[in-house]
Structure 1
Amino acid sequence: MRRTRMFGLLAVCGLLAGCLGQTQEGDQARNADAKEITLTIVANAALGGKNARGANWIQNWVIPKFTELQKAKGVTATIKFEQNGTGDEDFKTKVALDLKTGGGGDIIEIDGIWLGEFAQAGGIKPLDEVVGNTGWDGWNQIPKAVQGLGEFEGKRYGVPMGTDGRVLFFNKKLFAQAGLPSDWQPRSWQDVLDAGARLKTLPGVTPLQLNGGTAMGEATTMQGVLPALVGTGKPIYDNGKWQGDSAQLKDVLGLYQKVYSGGLGDPVLQQEANGRQRSFTLFSENKIGILLESDYFWRSVVEPKNGVAKMADRDAAVGWALVPAKSSGAGVGGQDFVSMSGGGVRVINPNTQYPKQAWEFMQFLNSAEAVKESLAGTAQLTQRQDVNDQVLSGDPMLSFIAEKVLPITRYRPGLANYPKVSAALQQATADIVSGKSPDDVARSYREALVKAVGEENIG
């Protein structure tokens, strides 16, 4: 009786899988010559709502344009846009469930931080397993480091949609008062600390804002700990292991100690619920000298007309510099300078009934013409160097990110345990800011890490 029930259950599951469109792996040529196709693109974007610009681009430019191109080839293409306007975690849950049950759209836009988690769960597969030959001239326009956003464990799963980069922003007016150069480019952590010491002589000025503590959340990790860690040559996750209480981690905690115990940073600011926002305001008011942030700070925070902390003299008063490794050549891959980036990725559903056409659609979405059109006239970093060369030519800061930062950047590990690890790192910096020693904090961090990921997963 038990065997009969099991066979019945398997039969039902098989029927369900067929209805949902699941196919055998390796069937990359299915429907390759179809003259009528239907493809669905899924994004957390909605017309008149969340990410409205992206939604408008898909609905009103991408779909008509691609349909027209297919018609010229004798193919009748129906392109559907599944809009969403939910919280990121709700969208992630929906996509994960769709993929698990064999459903979902053909092209799916996801946050790059989810890529590894989806890959480990089997929801997405390497591009070449899904579509076969992934040759495309567009790869030559996407810097290798940026391609890493769509890669996991050495395999390519998707195409990056866009990215950003982190640098040290500095106030040129305060630098002039402190006798520091307007073309400042530190080559080590000590150079940054030395500049901070000079700025400390200015009354009412906080020399350095290095995000720390739990109140700033992921901003602490991405605009503080992770850039510093890659500057030691050892990222937070490497060769399948999370970094524990290593010498490199202690170096990073030691850097935080020098900043916050040495009077270069404001410990109270790191504990405020709106501390990051306050740091933006203080910088715009010429009260913070150096701040580590992404290009978002330039184009959306201190932007003279619409920024959240407007600086009318931004273009003359704000400088930027690469984030130095701990010392020359000490960064990951022997780099002198480092950065961290984020961004989205487009993946192809392994269960698509039209793998060849889905890959063709993916190439179109990431073509120079389409990427430029998606910007709707704004100046913003894209995944493509040729587009950046065009649209950023009038913005020296964003051009700097595109030319100098993107080739050397790194990305967060897109794994399910990352948020727990990030929280542990935030707590570690909070402990340093409150006055604890790097050795004591490193031990506590390792204990939290063991609870989060297991002893066997710590390097």
Structure 2
Amino acid sequence: MKRIAALMLVLLMILAGCGGLVPKGNDSSDKNNAEKADGKTEIKFWSFWGSDPRKATINKIIDDYNKSQDKVTVKYTYLPWGDIWTKNLAAVAAGNPADVVINDINSTALRGLKNQAEDLTDLAEKDQLEGKFSKELWQASQHEGKVYGIPFNTDTRVLFYNKKMMKEAGLNPDQPPATWDEIKKYGQLMDKKKGNTYENIGFYPFFGGIGADIWLTNANHKNYIDENGKVSIDTQENINTMNWLKKYQDQYGTDTLQKFQAKFDSQQGNPFFTENVGMIIKDQSFATQLDDFAKDIDYGVAPLPAVKEGEEPTSWGGGFVAEVPKGSKHKEAAYDFIKFLTNEKNQQLWAEETFDLVANEKAAQAAGENLSGNKKVAYQAAVDNMKQTILTPVPVTAPEYFNLVNPQLDAIMRGKKSPEDGLKKAQEDLEKLVEQNKK
């Protein structure tokens, strides 16, 4: 998962207090963002949006902002994915950061703790921004009640399913699976074998690039570590989840799964596009790939299944915030631009042009209503799914937690450890980590 990989990269750099070169044109010779000759203050804005349509859309928003007032000029700099966070931390350490940076939402609290982002609480409260975003996104942008970033966009995992394959399996395409038992049953009915070889696989929980952590979230409805540092990974729910996942892997076998997985990496050869996989977990942006590579597929979009009937399904999301790096010389002007960037009009524009799930709730709802065809179905499903989507902000008591958890989950899936032993070890390691960091 690209965003989870990005989060790990961001965390490693935050923890390391990463150094590096500041982008050209942003050193002390730039007069610390001093006022230009025309009397306007120049705001430096960094993001990783360099390809169309994102670049075109952000340039339009910036141009509209620059024309909307006569005090500030926003200067945009594109930095490649990953590099931007290295450069940002280096610039903060050098005392000459950009004024606005797009950053990972799940590590916002950690940057607040480490004094790497400006406190925007008073400004946000004055403008009553809190009510414009979901509770999950707003809380993820804080540390100890203080706001260190304004939510910009997010995502959520949903189930894409092939309606034709469901019909061929004798299933009702208007009734997608709602529980783990149902998705298992549906998947088996959609499987197709020729001899000992699987030609079609109805459903495998890891297809789509998600990991065991998403299914543990789906079952537990929470992160491994709460805001007070309480660890709860060694639970019966999690043991059951890992057993459920392992049975899937054992059913199809490593060789079969690896052959299918290799095809997912080839775009046009993606087994969902070729109708060799019936159901897959992705975020809403998968609809754009379907438009590009598999326009003729008749598909539906539904929430992730719940563990059992009567339970609420839970999904996982990530996202990004617009924040003011610590040391910006123009905090209030930078915040004013962020407020413009995240207002309803511009968030709706961003959603309709890029198909990102925007953070502003009214804008997301409006965009969903304005889209058409399958894209409308996928986007509206994602908007609705945010009601049952949780984020997993990095716990400041254990920022490196994934280095301890992931090896245990991997050992369980490889059959090297039982779920009981692997999760017990993860629990012990996390409790030690939390205790060390509290000291």
Structure 2 counterpart of 1:255, one-letter code = W
Unaligned runs of 5+ in 1: 1-16, 22-30, 331-335
Superposed CA RMSD in Å reads: 3.7
- Partners of 2:46 and 2:98 within 8 A in 1: no
1:287 and 1:180, CA in 2 relative to 1: closer, same or farther beyond 3 A? same
Equivalent of 1:79 in 74, 77, 88: 74
SS at structure 1 position matched to 2:265:
helix
Equivalent of 1:175 in 166, 182, 196: 166
Shift of 1:104: 0.9
Unaligned runs of 5+ in 2: 1-27
1:78 and 1:198, CA in 2 relative to 1: closer, same or farther beyond 3 A? closer
1:282 and 1:57, CA in 2 relative to 1: closer, same or farther beyond 3 A? closer
- Greater Rg by CA: 1
Partner Cα distance (1:79, 1:188) in 2: 49
- Partners of 2:157 and 2:316 within 8 A in 1: yes
1:401 match: 381
The answer to which of 174-183 and 242-251 deviates more is: 242-251
Structure 2 counterpart of 1:381, one-letter code = L
> 5 Å matches for 1:35-434?
36=39, 38-45=41-48, 50-51=50-51, 53-58=53-58, 60-71=59-70, 76-81=71-76, 83-88=77-82, 90-128=83-121, 131=123, 133-136=125-128, 139-200=130-191, 204-211=199-206, 219-221=209-211, 224-239=212-227, 240-263=229-252, 268-270=256-258, 274=262, 276-277=264-265, 281-300=270-289, 302-303=290-291, 306=292, 310-314=293-297, 316=298, 318-328=299-309, 330=311, 336-374=312-350, 377-393=353-369, 394=372, 395-414=375-394, 421=402, 424-425=405-406, 428-429=409-410, 431-434=412-415
Shift of 1:87: 4.1
Shift of 1:185: 3.7
Structure 1 counterpart of 2:69, one-letter code = Q
Shift of 1:110: 1.0
- Partners of 1:389 and 1:399 within 8 A in 2: no
The answer to which of 232-241 and 441-450 deviates more is: 441-450
TM-score for both structures, normalised by structure 1: 0.73
Shift of 1:448: 6.6
Partner Cα distance (1:108, 1:421) in 2: 25
Shift of 1:125: 4.3
**Paired residue total:** 395
SS at structure 2 position matched to 1:41:
strand
1:288 and 1:363, CA in 2 relative to 1: closer, same or farther beyond 3 A? same
Partner Cα distance (1:246, 1:456) in 2: 23
Partner Cα distance (1:117, 1:346) in 2: 15
TM-score for both structures, normalised by structure 2: 0.76
SS at structure 1 position matched to 2:271:
helix
1:3 match: none
SS at structure 2 position matched to 1:167:
strand
Partner Cα distance (1:149, 1:172) in 2: 36
Structure 1 counterpart of 2:244, one-letter code = L
SS at structure 2 position matched to 1:116:
helix
Shift of 1:189: 1.9
1:10 match: none
Structure 2 counterpart of 1:151, one-letter code = Q
The answer to which of 286-295 and 439-448 deviates more is: 439-448
Structure 2 counterpart of 1:208, one-letter code = F
- Partners of 1:126 and 1:155 within 8 A in 2: yes
1:7 match: none
SS at structure 2 position matched to 1:412:
coil
Partner Cα distance (2:215, 2:127) in 1: 33
- Partners of 2:48 and 2:84 within 8 A in 1: no
Shift of 1:447: 6.8
